[in-house]
Structure 1
């Protein structure tokens, strides 16, 4: 698996990933702080922590918009080389388990999301200090929100990876990501939001008093259940894939 992950990383070497790593989190944090300070008196109530309230806006902009689109782009990128010049035929002809190939691509996208979220955290804290956000910075609390967001991204990563493997062009998985991202903020405010993979990252990243999640047990049962179902489906469907 280590060799597979290394090869996947080499394939992405010319993709200029660093631009996506920077632009995505920068956009999410920039929009969040603009909205936060523009409506500061509305968001801040007696006893509120300014950092938590600012993070709520990061979850609002990053969760249902920037993050799902990045997942779609990352999933498409890890499959792009195989869709060019008969790459799948060459890859599947190698003495490597198909399940390992699928897991390698999945873990590569997970790593990309982890890097994105870490950069998001750095930007959030850095911009917060520059803009003079008041109060104590609850680093561990925000870090937990970030971890929850990464976990909630896993079903979406698997879904987009399955689509990207089947699609022969880069545009199809990206179009799917954008189309289903558009209604995410509306769906998030309804009971269906817990079932919708494009809203789950936002719900997971939000503080409890700001999140429309009615049952965290149900929410994380759905997330974990989706991960298991999509992972099994992805592995089985990819195992049946031929080298054509």
Structure 2
């Protein structure tokens, strides 16, 4: 059976789906409630709701969520001798690495879908915001998935070599925090960090009419910014998966 199909079969009944639903729902609810509790209103309609939802989500919850998902996807391989069974398959190591990245990326994409649906439901049913979510944010959601794949590849690599469930998640927390600080102070090279790229992507085009954005200046959603995210993501994923494959091959050869 194809290794990717096998990975998707493993996801059936997995706790990963609980993470996929809870984290984005928490982000949207907390952003909305914080606006209301501070006496604010959704003056810019969908723009306000989206910014309040995506801010903390993109800077912390999303990278941490990816870390949790990666740990959950790799957890069965580190138990009951499954590691030997995985590495003894008659498939190239690169396919094993990529199959995990594809599985975690699919879960990450599902998490973004849940967030979109939650924003739409709250906006229409709870807050009765007129119209619909602007097309920029639909495109932004697709781009967020692309921008998150380097984090997926990196967290998958950590979960490959670390048997601990919590250690890769802790790395994601530190990486997300450090990258957000780097973006806040305007470090030009910060975008090379997978965590910073993911956070940067979530904030694209999220400036309100009054000029308000998140804790750092959000770039506009433009052909240039979209192309940059796509190119940096592709290069980072290629490098990370290649390094993971090389290290796995060397580790397998010495055991």
1:109 aligns with 2:119: no
Structure 1: stretches of 5+ with no match in the other structure:
none
**Greater CA drift, 159-168 or 8-17:** 8-17
1:96 corresponding residue in structure 2 = 91
1:212 corresponding residue in structure 2 = 218
Q: Cα offset for 1:90?
A: 1.4
Return closer, same or farther for 1:198/1:41 CA change in 2, 3 Å cut-off.
Answer: same
What SS class does the counterpart of residue 2 from structure 2 fall into?
helix
Equivalent residues in 2 for 1:30-49, closer than 5 Å: 30-38=29-37, 44=43, 49=44
TM-score between the two structures when normalised by the length of structure 2: 0.82
Return closer, same or farther for 1:148/1:134 CA change in 2, 3 Å cut-off.
Answer: same
What SS class does the counterpart of residue 252 from structure 2 fall into?
coil
CA RMSD across the alignment: 2.6
Return closer, same or farther for 1:138/1:12 CA change in 2, 3 Å cut-off.
Answer: closer
1:224 corresponding residue in structure 2 = 234
**Greater CA drift, 17-26 or 216-225:** 216-225
**Greater CA drift, 102-111 or 32-41:** 32-41
Distance in 1 of aligned mates of 2:249 and 2:169: 24
1:202 corresponding residue in structure 2 = 199
1:19 aligns with 2:18: yes
Distance in 1 of aligned mates of 2:126 and 2:56: 18
1:150 aligns with 2:148: no
Q: Cα offset for 1:15?
A: 2.8
Q: Cα offset for 1:112?
A: 0.4
Q: Judge conservation of contact 1:99–1:238 (CA < 8 Å) in 2.
A: no
Equivalent residues in 2 for 1:64-213, closer than 5 Å: 64-192=59-187, 193-208=190-205, 209=207, 210=213, 211-213=217-219
Q: Judge conservation of contact 1:167–1:173 (CA < 8 Å) in 2.
A: yes
Distance in 2 of aligned mates of 1:27 and 1:199: 22
User: Does 1 or 2 have the higher relative contact order (CA < 8 Å, sep 6+)?
Assistant: 1
1:56 corresponding residue in structure 2 = 51
Q: Cα offset for 1:43?
A: 7.4
Return closer, same or farther for 1:32/1:41 CA change in 2, 3 Å cut-off.
Answer: closer
Q: Judge conservation of contact 2:71–2:156 (CA < 8 Å) in 1.
A: yes
Distance in 1 of aligned mates of 2:179 and 2:34: 19
Length, aligned pairs only: 239
